[in-house]
Structure 1
Amino acid sequence: MSSVLNISAYRFVALSDCGRLRESIHTRASSLGLRGTVLLAEEGINLFLAGGTQAVRDFMQWLRADERFADLMPKESFSATVPFRRLKVKIKREIIRMNHPTIRPQLGRAPAVDAPTLARWLDAGHDDEGRPVVTLDTRNAFEVDHGTFDGAIDWRLAKFSDFCAALQTHRDALAGKTVVSFCTGGIRCEKAALYLREAGLDHVYQLDGGILKYFELVGERHYRGGCFVFDEREVLAPDLQPLRT
């Protein structure tokens, strides 16, 4: 029976009190018996937590009482056991490392496309203006090897901070197309979409909620394999259950 609720969520928002937040988040999550990882930085929050369903929902209700996190909408999945060994709350320079200081999503997002719209575009082979659509995988190569969208562009990144240099090599291949950047839950493709726009590409979107939200709303359509996740489940199938190999 899958009785453990797993959530992943992030938000780019200016945070000036990471030390205080670290203590309060750790105290509340620990008191509710949750395990997982929460990352904090001046640019925002990124969290992966698991525990009893009511405990997780109580934590999110508490967290959303802070107006900076009021709109935080986690992706959810269920498992039979908690896929984390302990609870960690850390302060980082970036909640997802890109090493490109001009990319500041907390000041404004890139345009996003939701999962049903992307699926419709992929059905047609073009966007609503008739422009060819390509999907750009912003994850590391070993993650891509577990599954990705049919025909997705894969630059075989060793780490996300390699993305900017890879774009300079491959930029011309994206010209004239609608580019949809995607990743596991949305955080990497949000920064990637902003950088693509900074580089002069006009028709760029991020996949809202990433692969996990796509699985939740669309399922396996246009996707092959599973989605690597950074916990003990390792790879999720399109039904959001651990992929059995």
Structure 2
Amino acid sequence: MKKLMIGTAALAMLAGAAWAESHSVVRMGTEGAYAPFNFINDAGEVDGFERELGDELCARAELTCEWVTNEWDSIIPNLVSGNYDTIIAGMSITDERDEVIDFTQNYTQPDPSAFLAMEGAELDMEGGIFAAQAGTIQASYIAEMGATLVEFATPDETIAAVRNGEADAVLADKAFLLPIAEEDAELAFAGDDILIGGGVGMGLRESDAELRGKFDAAIQSMKDDGTLNALITKWEIGETF
């Protein structure tokens, strides 16, 4: 275990050094499958709240950025190994993740999570079966509830599990579930909203303190002049600052 940790740390240092030496292009890693935070539009491009936010942050930090997509379950390991330089993918700041990577300050408030089930369903919070995307704060919450957790690689699969009866409900960010509930009359929110995590921030390698500082300053400037609140309202992400 110690050898693995040393190897991972050394790899992160080399990856960070590569960015520091070039200072050319910052690769912005996202999932592209979690609207309205991030998704792939009809033109095949990354879109959504975080695309618009990330482009503005790069402009304010005077950085040239390009967008890279990566599946959620390997998004942190591939940041550490140097496949991209940031994670901007609706990732909640948690102590567990902060042991592996660094975070900027939060660019959203803690967003309510909610249960989405078939219309009229009554949830058994202790004995029920609940779907969540693997590696999320919602999956951890369900596991701690003592209920049966069914994990899926993508958020769309969690919704499908409810529709086909594989799960009683899905737990996810309410901002993600709301448009789905509005479009499908057979699905409805059930139970109470839950606050999990400390808001969403950008993830960076621990060796990239300079880059983290640039994005921190850019986020703060957007908070100060109200442009971040305007984006949060536009994309219906949650509470403003």
> TM-score, normalization: structure 2?
0.29
The structure whose residues are more often helix, as a share, is 2
